[in-house]
Chains A and B, each alone.
Chain A
């Protein structure tokens, strides 16, 4: 299936391009290292020992496979307001139950094994919500490597619990005060560190973006989500879902869920960007409100002005607060295989509360965007249809943000 000529699964090309997107737009200093990483990744892909070690860690350390869960009460709740006969069944892939509480760890385990193969002795990463920072700090503690996390000063402020977690895990957290003090600025600073420390440092990029081969390898490590979900669906109810839904900042959880289903032509897919205060105001929806450009090593949809200056993104969710998106999503949008839509801060907060009350699950603000979209879509679909959404993170880290947004004093 994967090798067919018409497959959607055989991207990128050998130069790291997904159609016109992706590529390797980095400073010359980094280029040899990027090529090394690609060689090492190809070697690892062909090495049964690498896969055995990865699978072992995913099973016994991360806690995979994550459950596939039928959200019966949410389904029933949404049917109350749906037209007659409407109200699709809602299932969740429970990646919030992973060790560290989000999907980010899947990728970090894979990348730190690559770093060790390459003989690198120091790890750096950027983080927005702090989930990738926590996951990176976790694997660094597990493998005994020093770890530096770059985090926008504004995100340090709004994600204090995760900052403390990273410190407990032994990471050095460096608040970044350039630009808008958020994820894109943290990524700039991580790139500056990397270019000055190429000899011993491995950069664990947290999303399916950046220079080739990162978008490909992050996707591959996150595809465990979709591979498991596909097999679980088939074994539980002997059919595939009709619609997949996932939230998108850079897009790693979404591509991880979508990719193994791309050639299942009956499975529709919906990626949800953060519409922030609204698409006509401040938001983080690069596909809806941006156009192709070059940033952080790849060509992709970016929020930018007519001169190509990058705009500040806004989302209530620090993990979605980024003015770009992984290049494979830009390609999937352009060829029409995946539909992309957006959800505002307010709608995400409603989705957050809905899941808390109906299922006893406190989701992160990132998948709360997906939940809001699920509610919208379920009402349009028949009752025998199935929506599978990725619950990519748990909400413990967000309770202060949510309390503030709801006017609660804590």
Chain B
């Protein structure tokens, strides 16, 4: 049992939370996510061209890069987080170019050194797995793939092949943070995915309120919340830790109660 997979064996579905590295006081915000009850943390690697992200995360990327965040800074943040929180799974999420520019072996080795458990790469589909997948698997870092409403039954096995940690179901065809899918379509999709794989299925994109999180928690193994947290950081700047913790705690309560 890895640190990441054990997050999905608790009595309640996992709360997966996202923030962008280098946007605001990242260390304090990460601690706030943990204090609020996050079960898995996704740390976004800022990129100049975040094609799959909506306005909230686009702006977080810009704030971070304008503050001078480098890849070395991101691994330093991860390393320090791992020292403070030995048990909380940490996943890097971002785009292919910053992850592969020094070679995938380099990136995988840095992940191992920093105590990163998994990687989500938005723009490397299974067809281009060779770019990053083998290096991560050889290093024992989970490659977390995305499934979407357009991933049909014929394609799903290719997505699952080489995936580990959890499967991230992107519940709407669209960019991050904007609209949420209808609950019925999420339930159908999760049922279809769980029939095809034993790895946990977490659902994200457009999840904002504790009520939405609770509804998803009834059917999925995890709920991913990103843009709503990033917006709190945008609003509160370097003093966001308190509001972030309170918001995450409200999500956690809703998720925990959803199945009780």
Which B residues lie within 8 Å of A197 (CB)?
173
A83 at the binding interface (Cβ < 8 Å): no
Contact of B127 with A by CB under 8 A: yes
Is there a chain B Cβ closer than 8 Å to A385's Cβ?
Answer: no
User: With A and B bound together, what is the CA distance between A26 and B173 in angstroms?
Assistant: 13
Are the CB atoms of A192 and B52 closer together than 8 Å?
Answer: yes
B147 within 8 A of A: yes
A184 at the interface (CB under 8 A from B): yes
| Chain B residue contacts of A302, Cβ below 8 A | 97
Give the CA-CA distance A27 to B122 in the complex, in Å: 6
Q: Please tell me which stretch of B31-39, B43-51, B216-224 contacts chain A, meaning at least 4 of its Cβ atoms lie within 8 angstroms of it.
A: B43-51
Q: A199-B173, A308-B97 are in contact. Are A23 and B51 (CB under 8 A)?
A: no
Chain A CB within 8 A of B148 CB:
yes
* A304 at interface, CB cutoff 8 A: yes
User: Once the chains bind, are A294 and B127 in contact (CB under 8 Å)?
Assistant: no
Pairwise interchain contact B148-A293, C-beta atoms closer than 8 A: no
Given contacts A32-B152, A304-B101, contact A309 B174 (CB under 8 A): no
Closest approach, in angstroms, between the C-beta of B189 and any C-beta of chain A?
13
Contact size range, A: 35 or more
- By a CB distance below 8 angstroms, the chain B residues around A26 are 123, 125
**Would you call B127 and A195 a contact (CB within 8 A)?**
no
A25-B98 in contact (CB<8A): no
Residues in chain B near residue A408, CB distance under 8 A = none
Contacts of A31 in B (CB 8 A): 125, 127, 150-151, 155
Contacts of B47 in A (CB 8 A): 308-309
Q: Which residues of A contact B101 (CB under 8 A)?
A: 293, 304, 306-308
Residue of A27, A179, A198 near B49 (CB, 8 A) is A179
User: Which residues of chain A from 21 to 40 have any CB-CB distance to chain B below 8 Å in the complex?
Assistant: 23-33
> Given B97, B127, B149, which contacts A24 in the complex, CB threshold below 8 Å?
B127
B159 at the interface (CB under 8 A from A): yes
**B58 interface residue per 8 A CB criterion:** yes
Judged by a CB distance under 8 angstroms, whether A279 is at the interface is no
CB-defined contacts of A184 to chain B, threshold 8 Å: 49
User: Nearest chain A CB to B30's CB is how many angstroms away?
Assistant: 21
Q: Is there a chain A Cβ closer than 8 Å to B7's Cβ?
A: no
A24 to B124, CA, bound (A): 8
Chain A nearest Cβ from B164, distance in angstroms? 16
Q: For the complex, is A297 an interface residue (Cβ under 8 Å from B)?
A: yes
Number of B residues whose C-beta is below 8 Å from A?
43
Q: For residue A231, which residues in chain B have a CB less than 8 angstroms away from its CB?
A: none
Asked if A10 is an interface residue, CB under 8 A from chain B, the answer is: no
Docked Cα-Cα span, A306 to B155, in Å, equals 35
Among B47, B98, B99, B159, residue most surrounded by chain A Cβ atoms (within 10 Å)? B98
* Nearest A residue to B178, CB-CB: A196
A25 touches which of B128, B145, B170 (Cβ 8 Å): B128
Q: Bound state CA distance, A293 and B99, in angstroms? A: 10
Contact indicator A28/B159 (Cβ below 8 Å): yes
Q: What residues of chain A lie closer than 8 Å to B172, measured between beta carbons?
A: 196
Bound state CA distance, A33 and B65, in angstroms? 32
Within 8 A of B (CB), among A305-364: 306-310
B77 / chain A contacts, CB cutoff of 8 Å: none
Q: Mark A275-317, 1 if CB is under 8 A from B, else 0.
A: 0000000000000000001111100001010111110000000
Asked whether, in the complex, the Cβ of B49 is within 8 Å of the Cβ of A294, the reply is no
- Report B-chain residues with C-beta under 8 Å of the C-beta of A29: 52, 148-150, 170, 173-174
Closest-by-CB residue of B relative to A198 is: B173
B195 CB to closest chain A CB, in angstroms? Answer: 19
Encoded as 1 (CB less than 8 Å from any B CB) or 0, chain A from 54 to 66 comes to: 0000000000000
Q: Contact flags (1/0) for B169-181 with A, using CB distance below 8 Å?
A: 0101111001000
Beta-carbon contact of B49 and A24 below 8 Å: no
A198 surroundings in chain B (CB, below 8 A): 150, 173
**Chain B hits for A185, CB < 8 A:** 49
Q: Decide if A294 touches B173 in the complex (CB within 8 Å).
A: no
Tell which of A33, A192, A308 touches B150, judged by Cβ atoms closer than 8 Å: A33
Q: Which residues A139-194 have CB closer than 8 A to chain B?
A: 178-179, 184-185, 188, 191-192
Q: CB distance B159 to A294 under 8 Å? A: no
Nearest neighbor of A291 in chain B, beta-carbon distance: B101
- Minimum CB–CB distance for B197 against chain A, Å: 15
Contacts of A32 in B (CB 8 A): 150-152, 155
Query: Distance in Å from the Cβ of B54 to the closest Cβ of chain A?
Result: 8
With a CB–CB cut-off of 8 A, which chain B residues contact A191? Answer: 51-52
**Residues of B contacting A310 in the complex (Cβ-Cβ under 8 angstroms):** 48-49, 97
User: Is B253 on the interface with A (CB-CB < 8 A)?
Assistant: no
Return B248 CB to nearest CB of chain A, in Å.
26
- By beta carbon, the residue of chain B nearest A308 is B101
**Does any Cβ of B come within 8 Å of A409's Cβ?**
no
A-B pairs, top 6 by smallest CB distance, nearest first, are: A308-B101, A196-B174, A308-B97, A308-B98, A294-B96, A29-B148
Q: Enumerate chain A interface residues (CB-CB to B < 8 A).
A: 15, 23-33, 178-179, 184-185, 188, 191-192, 195-199, 293-297, 302, 304, 306-310
What are 24 inter-chain pairs, A to B, with CB distance below 8 A? A25-B96, A27-B51, A28-B125, A28-B147, A33-B150, A192-B52, A192-B53, A192-B54, A192-B175, A195-B51, A195-B174, A196-B174, A196-B178, A198-B173, A293-B100, A294-B97, A294-B131, A295-B97, A296-B51, A306-B101, A307-B101, A308-B97, A308-B101, A310-B49
Binding site for A on B (CB under 8 A): 47-54, 58, 62, 65, 70-71, 95-101, 122-125, 127-128, 131, 145-152, 155, 159, 170, 172-175, 178
Given contacts A195-B175, A196-B174, A308-B100, 9 further A-B contacts (CB under 8 A): A25-B124, A28-B159, A29-B173, A192-B54, A195-B52, A294-B96, A294-B97, A309-B48, A310-B97
